Amino acid sequence: MRPLLKISLAAGMAASAAFALAAPKDYVSGEVLVKFKPVARDAGKKVAVSDGYKVESGVPVLGIDKLRLPKGMSVELAMKELRTLPWVEFVEPNYIYHATFTPNDTSFGSQWGPKKIQSEQAWDINKGDPTVVIAIIDTGISSTHPDLASKRVAGWNFVSNNNNPNDDNGHGSHCAGIAAAITNNATGVAGVGFNCSLMPVKVLNSGGSGTLQNVANGINWAADNGANVLSLSLGGSGATSMQQAVDYAWSKNCVVVAAAGNNGSTSMFYPAAYTNCIAVAATTTSDTRASFSNYGSNWVDVAAPGVNIYSTYMGSQYATLDGTSMACPHVSGLAGLLFSAKGKATPNSTVRSLIEQNCDSVGTFVAFGRINAYKSLLAAGGGNTVYANPQGYVMYSGSQVSGNYTNLKSSDNSYLVLASQNNKVDWFGPMYPASGSGTITNVTFTFEGSATVAGTATVQAYNYLAGGWETLGNINLTTSDQTWTFPISTNPHRFRDPFGEMDMRVSYQASSSFQLKNDWMQVAVTRQ
């Protein structure tokens, strides 16, 4: 088995220790991950049990099981035995993955990274959308840090299997601050993603290590729970389970960003090297490759600042750290800005292309160059964009079951539920975009929801020039949440009154009585 790169998390350790390779057996003893072929999964599990294995949940979303080995059996022997069975698709060790930063000290420093990638100019175009969620799949995020706490959305702790993904290491909080610390609050640091939200997904323990099983489950969970960007400042050996998790997230329209590793070599590091990841190398203030950073234009896509990076840390602390771990969330924050500017329904391939095709040249050690947030936002075609959610709602037909208009502020499975009256619900929510200078170039209305009975909904906005409701489109609601966006670039100012109010109306008709579950409603106003 190829040795796994292991990065120490202990601040102040010598560089030679920080770059040391782990022992060859860097995986959990006594267990393996196995995927039985779908047509033979039940039969395969029965045979495994009869042979002395104990079958447990592994990575359920991907149909992967964890097998506890019979007493005295080695992982190597189990893999050799299981690979010969015709009903086994693949079997692999439950590898240990490690965070990828190389700390130098905990002294405070200045933030040069956001300036280098021209974040300030990018923020003049777009300051991010709180409903765009960046998942930090790492050691957790501090729940008490003044620069992070209010940015957190619900997350999960796969180390302890509970809903408390608080950081007990510091690495995850440092990455979170780079990606989207609270910005323009006269406190601490600024995050590249500015207004974007942060999802803490804890897959690494207090020592900065975690199993393949936990990392894969963390990726799947984030993709299934509203994350738009997945930031993975961790890595190690290649594994089929990991690749399938990354591919699953990509299929859910997530942009997956991963650190290229800190071994200073061209050796591939995973998950960064997978096709559906943006692999990120680290650069210095002079745009040269950081000496520790892995590189290679055949597999490393972009570079970002990764030396002497000042950001949030454990509790309420701040720290200066080095590593491709620090480079990765710069890219994740930019991906969040691009989803904000283009809309969350924008294909992830488009967001990735906007990042990669608008880099500054730094040499041949990466495929595209060092990211430039300003160039990417310019290419996205965004002007200053403000976002607004309903400030209340008015019912024409129907009745309230649960929730209120505050449940419509983001795509978070928190619903305003309305019951039909005569098989119909008809209501609208007034929204108040902040005033701004410049000409309105685009208005985008967004609605997300589902219904207990399938049917057709009509979405309208109030046309203040014509003095009546204007139909934006008809949508077919099902029992599962779906999202629709209605961008208007021709005379978009007609939907905004002199006081800044915009009204969005939803009328839903079905064949029988139903409940309408409204998850998210928003209007975005772009000015130039």
CA distance 57 to 35: 11
Active site positions, annotated: 138, 171, 325
CA dist list (Å): 229 to 29, 159, 264: 32, 21, 26
The answer to whether residues 125 and 341 touch, using CB atoms and an 8 Å cutoff, is: yes
CA distance 150 to 142: 11
The set of residues, in sequence order, having a beta carbon less than 8 Å from that of 527 and lying 6+ positions away, is: 383, 384, 385, 436, 437, 438, 439, 440, 441
Instruction: State the pairing for strand pair 482-488/502-510.
Output: unpaired
Q: What is the DSSP string of 315-355?
A: TT-EEEEEEHHHHHHHHHHHHHHHHHHH-TTS-HHHHHHHH
Q: How many CB atoms lie within 10 A of CB 133?
A: 30
The set of residues, in sequence order, having a beta carbon less than 8 Å from that of 40 and lying 6+ positions away, is: 86, 87
The set of residues, in sequence order, having a beta carbon less than 8 Å from that of 62 and lying 6+ positions away, is: 35, 216, 220, 241, 244, 245, 248
Determine phi and psi for 31, rounding to 5 degrees: -155, 155
The set of residues, in sequence order, having a beta carbon less than 8 Å from that of 373 and lying 6+ positions away, is: 114, 117, 118, 119, 121, 122, 192, 334, 337
Could you identify the residue written with the tokens 């991963």?
Answer: 258
The answer to whether residues 114 and 192 touch, using CB atoms and an 8 Å cutoff, is: yes
Copy the structure tokens of residue 125: 């175009």
Helix (H) or strand (E) holding 91: strand 88-99
Copy the structure tokens of residue 143: 């729940």
Q: How many CB atoms lie within 10 A of CB 401?
A: 13
